[in-house]
Structure 1
């Protein structure tokens, strides 16, 4: 059951996992764009001074490194958009525009990878924002053409460049519209995953909790015991158990009714939980029997805990509410011994409980 829950939890929406993938994808796209620009420079088609090109390239990759480190740090998880998709796409608009400015004949091929970035951020940005980004990129493309013609004296074929600009704009808007739909689907999926996560948590609680008291149930207590035994065997970490039983509980049910029996069980559970130290475990084995698991405790320490619990419970009275005046309890204590099984330590605690019962009840005994 636990392994199945862990597998299902792995499939639920995980923001951190998606952010890492988002960052890797952005780096991969920028790396392909950089390689394309270097290829064109090698072919003599990238008209830029070597020193200026090195400065611009360094600035691009220092920015990308900072972006990836920011995502990896987890700081952005507090932001409305943890992926920082809007700053990323605006940065990429600038990078691709500058690249297109320095390439003439192959300008459109240089900016083509912009659509890959546009698709990537569509998983995070709404449809309206995506359309705004598409219009911004279209305006940047037009401005880049005007600067190339005005600043560098590039001879442009207006009809060809206008057609390329129109194709770029139409594709950008198409990606924006499609991206908006992708984002809506992603948001729906995220909501379904959150609901699934909550459902898994409820299922897990149902699997390990007792219905009446809300305490750990028998199966989960036995799992905890196995973990404590593994720690004791591997790292010599001691632990003890207290086998607790409410005295004459059947008489409460017979005389006052099962409703009163349930009330006593719930009250007892609350009393124990309110007085427990952090790191201890308490649950219901069944009926009026309970188990207290005490990590880092030896036999004498567990006996002191049992006595403190017994005295604290003796202060609880129900007579004024129409129930039994008081309800005593008996406790059997056992400390884990080297190489024994969990069943062995439980049996010894049960023998201690039998000694407490046979000696008059309302006491704690070691097996």
Structure 2
């Protein structure tokens, strides 16, 4: 299984889009194979020139191999999927027109393959590109048929070539219009999917973040604590909880208004986050109260982080509220004991916070 997985990764890569492009290439290989077999059968029946037919088959095989390498290296060469699709379509159209030239009375069969090329383009090209490709195909096919009629009217009667051209034109235009509508539907579905993903990301953000401070909200913090409780029990690392309450926040609202209170909360959030370690999680616990999770931090390190927070919060400018206003907070720190629910740790941190506030505020106390 491991060897098969490595071979698959080597051939298809790890990018799902690349694997899908190689899947399309494999489907075209099958079509080239069928077309080549038909050419060989006509050679055996004496309806096609052997040298010209074998040259065409060789060109088809070389093209298939070349496009396999181009698709596999498209990321390195920075070739877009749509550009690759155009190249492959033009090559396939040229091969089909070549088969039309070198084969005999059954040459009209190869016009059907042109329709298949257009259908494949619906999966990778925009409608206007497909229309341009259809116009190019008809131009190449018409020029080829005129050349055949001019060079050998007996083998290529004008009436027969005219019927072939009109039939191919009607079929190609019809398929192009249908594939254009399919492409539009595919693009609309893709846009709807992207819009849905954006909406889900917004909902997820609203469900996990506090709108005012952009910190984790209480619901998300409870989920983090449950996950951390499981990890802590498995790893046995020290973890601390700090419960933080802004000092005299009610007086800010009473004196300057609720808009000023919101500005204070945002300033606290911005300053506090700059003092945290990468693994710390700060959440708005309610009103002007915040909960800080410090994974892997013993009490002395937790106190150091909270002190750094206090310094940066106190230095945060609040010129939009009042030039002389400064933010301070009181905090209670508790280390989670082995097997202790975080709810109990938070209760002990809350008691330490009450002690800090009753001691004059702007204090840090440990449980």
**Distance in 2 of aligned mates of 1:348 and 1:107:** 88
Q: Deviations over 1:5-61 (max 9, x none)?
A: xxxxxxxxxxx8677545523531442332342255256356545974664243122
Question: With CA pairs under 8 Å and 6+ residues apart, which has the higher RCO, 1 or 2?
Answer: 1
Q: Deviations over 1:147-182 (max 9, x none)?
A: 778999993454333312221122112222333333
| TM-score, structure 1 as length reference | 0.76
Matched, 1:38 2:37: yes
Moved more, 319-328 or 20-29: 319-328
* Conservation of the 8 A alpha-carbon contact between 2:267 and 2:318: no
Change (3 A) 1:236 1:167: farther
Q: How does 1:141-156 map to 2 (within 5 A)?
A: 141-145=141-145, 155-156=155-156
Change (3 A) 1:284 1:146: same
* Conservation of the 8 A alpha-carbon contact between 1:89 and 1:117: yes
Measured after TM superposition, the shift of residue 203 of structure 1 is: 2.4
* Conservation of the 8 A alpha-carbon contact between 1:127 and 1:181: yes
Q: Deviations over 1:204-239 (max 9, x none)?
A: 322222233232211122223334344444556665
**Distance in 1 of aligned mates of 2:24 and 2:64:** 14
**Distance in 2 of aligned mates of 1:31 and 1:260:** 70
Measured after TM superposition, the shift of residue 253 of structure 1 is: 3.9
Measured after TM superposition, the shift of residue 285 of structure 1 is: 1.0
Gaps of 5+ in 2: 1-14
Match of 2:212 in 1: 212
* Conservation of the 8 A alpha-carbon contact between 2:18 and 2:72: no
Q: How does 1:20-39 map to 2 (within 5 A)?
A: 21=20, 23-38=22-37
Match of 1:162 in 2: 162
Matched, 1:136 2:136: yes
Q: Deviations over 1:118-149 (max 9, x none)?
A: 12323554444333322322233345556778
Moved more, 298-307 or 100-109: 100-109
Q: How does 1:213-228 map to 2 (within 5 A)?
A: 213-228=213-228
Change (3 A) 1:136 1:365: same
Moved more, 146-155 or 335-344: 146-155
Instruction: Identify the match of residue 61 of structure 2 among 42, 54, 58.
Output: 58
Aligned pairs, how many?
349
Give SS of 2:215's match. coil
**Distance in 2 of aligned mates of 1:342 and 1:48:** 83
| TM-score, structure 2 as length reference | 0.76
Matched, 1:116 2:119: no
Change (3 A) 1:276 1:99: farther
Moved more, 189-198 or 304-313: 189-198
Matched, 1:68 2:71: yes
Give SS of 1:84's match. helix
* Aligned-CA RMSD value: 3.8
* Conservation of the 8 A alpha-carbon contact between 1:37 and 1:110: no
Measured after TM superposition, the shift of residue 246 of structure 1 is: 1.5
**Distance in 1 of aligned mates of 2:106 and 2:320:** 92
Matched, 1:267 2:270: no
Gaps of 5+ in 1: 1-15
